[in-house]
């Protein structure tokens, strides 16, 4: 996988971003090119960086067939076998106008084959990896911004300087979102309180098929798609097995959950690069579970990787995920 990015005026930032792009690229052998733009802008003080990414919708049948055609690892097989057959999937959800007794916090099973039960949202990069989009389309796939309020350390090889933020690790994190580490629960969390019907909230992402709870399993749902404070676990076999070994693997939502965007691992859970926060003087690295998640949503994993050189290009898009500080800034 090749990730191309824009070039800014900061040579060290360019080199570090390219290293981060090559680090992801070297883990997967998909014959695709992902186009990203990056730069420095002033963000609010609690935000370290942000990623925006273009997304596209597909039918569940298209998604499931693509996952089936993309099986290259044992984990991929588990994922495919965990996806229910037929043109629709069921979700355990809440915060919609159909919530029981208009108590919007209460979860319920939505299995009425509506628009949200037949639609899957993918980042354009994820769609490329699944063969659902032109593999080398040069339309921008994502834009990443780093907060110019902070001092950045561009070379993690000698540790991260005190009072500096890890540029390389932050680039890895934000690139991860553009590749598809994104939950539609953030859309629910932003539009909850019964404002919309479940069919109007048709933003189940590929990553959401790895999201489960005790309640979603008891209800017989294909995934958990709630915005609340209950624990959500990580599974790559349709909820049968907890693959992270922790009860709470996912962040739960800014407004109705634990205060963190659902498009992340659990806060300070130590699971991987997609932790929602970072801090000064701290390095951030890819983990095996980060790679497992990417593998099963459509990327073709390489288990002994040789980094490929990146090349350069530029573009732009919309806003979505914000990575935060563990504490208020100085």
**Which residues in this chain contact Zn ion in the complex, by CB under 5 A?**
321, 323
As measured in angstroms, the least distance from the Cβ of 6 to Zn ion is 20
- Cβ 71 vs Cβ 101: under 8 Å: no
Query: How many CA atoms, within 13 angstroms, populate the side-chain half-sphere of residue 30?
Result: 34
**Cα distance between residue 125 and residue 36, in whole Å:** 10
Q: How far is the CB of 51 from Zn ion (least distance, A)?
A: 7
| Percentage helix, strand, coil for the chain under 3-state DSSP, each rounded to 5 | 30, 20, 50
HSE-CB for 249 with a 13 A CA cutoff: 24
Compare residues 294 and 321 and give the one whose CB is closer to Zn ion. Answer: 321
In contact, 253 and 229? CB cutoff 8 Å: no
CB of 59 to Zn ion, least distance (A): 28
Q: Which is nearer to Zn ion, 13 or 172 (CB)?
A: 172
Least distance (Å) from Zn ion to the CB of residue 321?
Answer: 4
Which structure tokens are listed for 44? 């609010």
Beta partners for residue 34, in sequence order: 3
- For Zn ion, the closer of residues 96 and 170 by Cβ is 170
Q: Nearest approach, Cβ of 121 to Zn ion (angstroms)?
A: 17
Residue 264 vs 301, nearer CB to Zn ion: 264
Q: For residues 66 and 144, which CB has a smaller minimum distance to Zn ion in the complex? A: 144
In the complex with Zn ion, which residue's Cβ is closer, 53 or 60? Answer: 53
CB of 263 to Zn ion, least distance (A): 6
C-beta closer to Zn ion: residue 80 or 280: 280
User: In angstroms, what is the minimal distance from the CB of 323 to Zn ion?
Assistant: 4
Instruction: Look at the block and give the residue holding tokens 């919708």.
Output: 57
d(Cα 128, Cα 112) in Å, to the nearest integer?
30
Q: Residue 36's closest CA among 68, 74, 2, 67?
A: 2
Q: Which of 325, 16, 28 is nearest to 180 (CA)?
A: 28
CA–CA–CA angle 172, 65, 127 (5° rounding) = 30
φ, ψ for residue 124, nearest 5 deg? -65, -30
């Amino acid at each position: 996988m090749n990730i191309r990015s824009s070039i800014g005026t900061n040579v060290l930032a360019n080199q570090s971003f390219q290293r981060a792009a090559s680090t992801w690229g070297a883990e997967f052998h998909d014959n695709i090119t992902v186009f990203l733009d990056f730069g420095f802008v002033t963000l609010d003080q609690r935000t370290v960086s942000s990623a925006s990414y273009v997304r596209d919708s597909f039918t569940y049948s298209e998604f499931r067939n693509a996952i089936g055609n993309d099986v290259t690892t044992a984990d991929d097989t588990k994922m495919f076998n965990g996806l229910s057959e037929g043109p629709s999937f069921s979700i355990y959800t809440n915060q919609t106008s159909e919530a029981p007794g208009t108590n919007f916090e209460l979860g319920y099973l939505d299995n009425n084959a509506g628009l949200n039960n037949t639609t899957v949202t993918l980042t354009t990069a994820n769609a490329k990896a699944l063969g659902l989009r032109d593999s080398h389309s040069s339309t921008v796939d994502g834009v990443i911004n780093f907060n110019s309020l902070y001092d950045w350390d561009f070379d993690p090889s000698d540790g991260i300087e005190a009072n500096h933020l890890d540029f390389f690790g932050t680039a890895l994190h934000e690139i991860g979102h553009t590749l598809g580490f994104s939950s539609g629960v953030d859309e629910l969390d932003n539009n909850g309180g019964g404002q919309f019907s479940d069919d109007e909230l048709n933003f189940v992402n590929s990553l959401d098929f790895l999201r489960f709870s005790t309640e979603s399993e008891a209800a017989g749902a294909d995934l958990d798609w709630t915005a609340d404070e209950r624990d959500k676990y990580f599974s790559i076999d349709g909820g049968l097995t907890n693959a992270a070994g922790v009860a709470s693997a996912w962040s739960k939502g800014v407004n109705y959950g634990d205060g963190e965007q659902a498009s992340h691992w659990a806060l300070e859970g130590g699971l991987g690069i997609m932790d929602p926060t970072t801090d000064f003087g701290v390095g951030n690295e890819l983990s095996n579970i980060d790679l497992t998640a990417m593998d099963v949503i459509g990327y073709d994993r390489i288990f002994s990787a040789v980094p490929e050189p990146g090349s350069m290009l530029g573009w732009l898009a919309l806003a979505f995920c914000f990575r935060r500080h563990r504490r208020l800034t100085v």
